[in-house]
Structure 1
Amino acid sequence: MTLRVFLVEDSKTIRDNLVPTLKDLAHADVIGVAEGEHDAASWLAGQPESWDLAVVDLFLKEGSGLGVLKRLQSRLPRQRAVVLTNYPTESIRLRSLALGADAVFDKSTELDAFFDFCLRPAAA
């Protein structure tokens, strides 16, 4: 089964590299992309059940990934949300997990762990 990913990332370079890598390494299709909190909220409101994994950066062009995580708190049990950030401080990790993130990954040092997470089935 193909993993359906919603990506919230404002960097075009990261998106351009992450989308094909998710397909190759995690058998995932990125079905939606947003660069800011408002666009992410709009997409999620229109597609509440169409995605399996939300990948959220914290520092966005508009708004914050923390605001996106708040909106994801009412997701279905099969849907997961992860933070993929360049700033994985302990306080960021704790705050993200408190807002409902299933995991937090460092873009520069934890990509293998991120892709391993993507390959694991969600607990129902």
Structure 2
Amino acid sequence: MAMRVFVVEDSATINLIETLKELFGAEIVGWAATESHAIKMLAELDWDVALVDLFVASGSGLSVARALQGRDKARPVFVTTNYATPDMRSRCAALNVDAVFDKSVELDLLFDQLAILR
């Protein structure tokens, strides 16, 4: 069964969706560019992994992470951001995010984590 991934991302410059499909055969079950859309869709869809950008078109990825705090821990939430500061990593950890990856230098680490889940 393909890994079902939900992506919260508002930037078209990162082609994460195609990469996930190509590298992992992932099924992208949903995509949202805003906090409210992401929270609504994540509650309605069946997903295995959520990839959440911190800065989205409207709202915040932190609010998305907060909405997912009580999820089954078998469903990891990974934050991808260009702002992976120590403070932001700490804030994400407090919201039960499984890991934070800096988009500019840590995507390989994200892919390693996804390979483990596959």
With normalisation by structure 1, the TM-score equals: 0.90
Q: 1:66 aligns with which of 62, 69, 74?
A: 62
SS of structure 2 residue aligned to 1:5 = strand
Q: Percent identity?
A: 50
Q: Which residue of 2 aligns with 1:4?
A: 4
What is the identity, as a one-letter code, of the residue corresponding to 2:76? Answer: R
Shift of 1:120: 1.1
Shift of 1:13: 2.4
CA distance in 1, matches of 2:25, 2:109: 15
Shift of 1:18: 0.8
What is the identity, as a one-letter code, of the residue corresponding to 1:7? Answer: V
Q: Bigger CA drift: 19-28 or 111-120?
A: 19-28
SS of structure 2 residue aligned to 1:7 = strand
SS of structure 1 residue aligned to 2:69 = helix
- Give the aligned length: 118
Q: Which residue of 2 aligns with 1:13?
A: 13
Q: Which residue of 2 aligns with 1:104?
A: 100
Unaligned runs of 5+ in 1: none
Q: Which residue of 2 aligns with 1:30?
A: 28
Unaligned runs of 5+ in 2: none
Task: Please list every run of at least 4 consecutive aligned residues from structure 1 whose deviation after the TM superposition is greater than 4 angstroms.
Answer: none
